[in-house]
Structure 1
């Protein structure tokens, strides 16, 4: 699965709870993302970030590091 497909998969998961994410930048293996919608206020967003988002994005070989901006 490529990065675009993985991002869409994650967006579908987050949208179930009225959240979303966007890619801000991807350069030299560093992926910068922004959480949107309910993800910005959710007390579980850090758990979702570490246990779901980062794990799934690290499955993409080109992604070396993930930063939330």
Structure 2
């Protein structure tokens, strides 16, 4: 786990307890970080905040 992860607040998806085990956590800072709740040491996807906003906006349109 990156030491920078200790300085951000991870938020667990409200769907993390749903069936199927598709669990993610998101942390917002200068980058948006997304990681697997079940494998927190497995790394994270790091995105610039504008890219994250575009992604989440596109989800609302589906």
Superposed pair shares fold, TM > 0.5 = no
Which has the greater radius of gyration?
Answer: 2
Normalised by the length of structure 1, the TM-score is 0.28
